[in-house]
Structure 1
Amino acid sequence: MRTAARSRFITVRQTADRPYPPPMTAPSYPPKPVRGDRIAVISPSSGLPGLLPLPHELGLKRLREEFGLVPVEYPATRRMGSTPRERADDIHAAFADPTVKAVIASIGGEDQITVLPLLDRELIRANPKPFFGYSDNTNLHAFLWNTGIVSYHGGTVMVEFGRPGAMASISADSLRAALFTSGEYELKPAPRWGDVSRDWADPATFESEPETRPGYGWSWVNADRVVEGRSWGGCLEIVSWLLMADREISRDLAVYDGGVLFLETSEDMPSGEEVFIILRNMGERGLLRRFPALLMGRARTWSFERPNSPEEGARYAAEQRESVLRALKIYAPDTMAVFDVDLGHTDPQVVIPYGGVVRVDGPARRITVTY
């Protein structure tokens, strides 16, 4: 997760007697950019590009040269310590500019939740655009879901576009489809994957691709049905913060009925017991049983703070899976679950449309998203 003039826009704040509203209608897909279009690059959470420019510059270069887009940065994009108001101003400016056709986060962070009360929902609703990001950007995804706009969980400038050596082919293919197309896209298990990082401050890091290991496919539970619905979820830790702050979680839980829940954990690597407790509390609120299908992202098993061996990482991932299954057994025993989907904090990464249509076909062992 850690990873202009003063605003002239209206400030929208949540109060105890005025919770955030549910969407007026089901989320709709915003228009897509085409090659040659301008796209906004913003830092709604951390201004890490200012401290570590190498992956950011590489990501911008690939956006220009490999995707044919024109990235446009904003005042807080490279500013560490920017205020929530400054970041809200950048979000407003990016969505309000008619020449900007999509918005991409530079990276995640840990305090985007403080930006949410400052956002002008009506301005953003009137100027819908595809938004890409994950991790702490789950905050903005949930906001857009409630605003009636489909967004895209995945693809930050510094991580996926700025990957050392080359972009992962699965990531690049998924990002191209999500950016430029509007049809169905079938997800496939990665033949190889990795989650060990190297020092972004060292130029030598970018001379070769990260190390990967053989993939082992997805794992299915209750895979005896087909579920098709609109997706909701994101980074599990951020979802828990939204629940604690009572932000962007609809009071009318029926809006989630029949949807596809997708969750993943960050490099903070919460313990299995922490994962269970979050899911338990979602279950106590009545959320888990609303979703007949769950896509669980491949667990991130390594960080600079916890450089696990492959064996230690495998134990951590197994512990997380058992915690998820324990919560589902109690609160949503009939939910179909798919584990180790390549979404979120893993490499390679596929993009999940947040609020878009996802089809989970258990008998055929297929997952199809609509971008």
Structure 2
Amino acid sequence: MISESVEPVYPPKPSPGDRVAVISPSSGLPGLFPLPHELGLRRLKEEFGLDPVEYPATRKMGSTPRERADDIHAAFADPTVKAVIASIGGDDQITVLPYLDRELIRAHPKPFFGYSDNTSLLAFLWQCGVVGYHGSSVMCELGRPGAMAPLTADSLRAALFTSGPYELRPADRFRDIDLPWDDPESFAGEPPTEPAGGWHWHRPERVVEGRSWGGELEILSWHLMADREIAPDPSAYDGCVLFLETSEELMSAEHVFRILRTMGERGLLRRFPALLMGRPKTWSFARPLDAEAKAAHAREQREAVLRALETYAPETMAVFDVDLGHTDPQVVIPYGGTVRVDGPARRVTVTY
């Protein structure tokens, strides 16, 4: 584990023409759904000018934690590879972490992009003192039907190639309903979108600037249970900006509250003076909610978060429906990097 005094390191950025690793630290879904994966690879080449390199487990369903750890090590250790991008998420990346070589990662810091189950690797990098990037997977954002959402592409381009402040802005419209990845017709045109409604602020009386920490809420709950990649001293998070998101599994509002309650009982929530809460996913193939049920799910989740804050962190400022995590478009959040939340000006600025 790192000490509280260690300053996070921003890894060197790639340049157009550089090689980037494409790995599957969680699930080998590119092997089952090649259409969005190969579209994402083409966009990395044609729109971002990068040379994607796949590793042995990238398209392998059922790969072992050791095999996935080997791919991570190979990607970080290769001096010709300048960034690492996850193909997709999953649900068991926490089992990969015990196989990772912290000293190798520290010695070869590189920008890593991913979200969802990749919260595990991002939290690992945080503990190594390496800034990661929460957002942009090959299959979802780069492999989006139609074209990449402009807000997504702009944020990813800035995070990949530039250093310095980048002001986030709310989307005008967003997509919540997914299309089947095994149907070529899904990629024939633009997917349907709906009005986004802007951000919603809670206690926006001050300005908070700090190092960021967080990710997908359910993945963080597993880390809390396993005591994995959680700083042993909660004061390590003092002054940090918390950011959270929920997945397409559509966890109930009560489940959200219970996880946040656990963080509160552990003494974590009150450490964060600001929270960025991602726009909740409200539709899935397993639960295709109608408009009324979608609105209720989002409203109830926000109420659950506010209830937890009222109980455990009443002074914390919060911004809801930020375009991070399982939403489209999606902005990249530096994991362990600097985030500035300006309540009076209603502005959020990240440092890439």
The interval holding the TM-score normalised by the smaller chain is: over 0.9
- Determine the C-alpha separation between the residues in 2 that align with 1:310 and 1:187: 27
How far apart are the structure 2 equivalents of 1:314 and 1:27?
38
Structure 1 position 23, deviation (Å): 6.5
Structure-2-length-normalised TM-score: 0.99
Which amino acid is 1:147 matched to? C
Where does the alignment leave 5 or more consecutive residues of structure 2 unmatched?
none
In 1, Cα distance between equivalents of 2:58 and 2:160:
21
1:105 to 86, 105, 120: 86
Runs of 5+ consecutive residues of structure 1 not aligned to the other structure? 1-19
CA contact (8 A) 1:22 1:252 kept: no
Q: Name the residue aligned to 1:127.
A: 108
Which stretch of the first structure deviates more once superposed, 20-29 or 169-178? 20-29
- Separation in 2 of the partners of 1:310 and 1:366? 29
Alpha-carbon distance, 1:252 to partner: 1.2
Following TM superposition, the consecutive aligned residue runs of length 4 or more in structure 1 with deviations greater than 4 angstroms are 20-24
Contact 2:2/2:129 (CA < 8 Å) preserved in 1? no
Matched, 1:139 2:120: yes
Q: Which amino acid aligns with 2:27?
A: S
Alignment match, 2:44: 63
Residue matched to 1:365: 346
Query: 1:23/1:201 Cα in 2 relative to 1: closer, same or farther (>3 Å)?
Result: farther
The answer to whether the 8 Å contact 1:24/1:147 transfers is: no
The answer to whether 1:190 aligns with 2:171 is yes
Alignment of structure 1 residues 38-49 onto 2, 5 Å: 38-49=19-30
Match status 1:250 vs 2:231? yes
1:81-100 Cα offsets, whole Å, 9 max, x none, are 00000000000000000000
Letter in structure 2 aligned against 1:253: P
Contact 1:178/1:351 (8 A) holds in 2: yes
Match of 1:201 among 176, 179, 182: 182
Three-state SS of the structure 2 residue aligned to 1:103 is strand
For 1:212 and 1:219, the matched residues in 2 are separated by 20
- Partner of 2:325, secondary structure, is coil
Note if contact 2:9-2:131 (Cα within 8 Å) is conserved in structure 1.
yes
Q: Which residue of 2 aligns with 1:334?
A: 315
Q: TM-score when scaled to structure 1?
A: 0.94
Shift of 1:22: 4.3
Question: Identity percentage over the alignment?
Answer: 75
Instruction: Kindly state the Cα deviation for residue 209 of structure 1 after the two structures are TM-superposed.
Output: 1.6
| Count of aligned positions | 352
Q: Is 1:265 equivalent to 2:246 in the alignment?
A: yes
Q: What letter is aligned with 1:363? A: P
**Paired residue secondary structure (1:95):** helix
Correspondence 1:232 to 2:206: no
Secondary structure class of the residue paired with 2:83: strand
- Look up the SS of the partner of 1:82 in the other structure: coil
Q: Is the 8 A contact 2:215 2:243 kept in 1?
A: yes
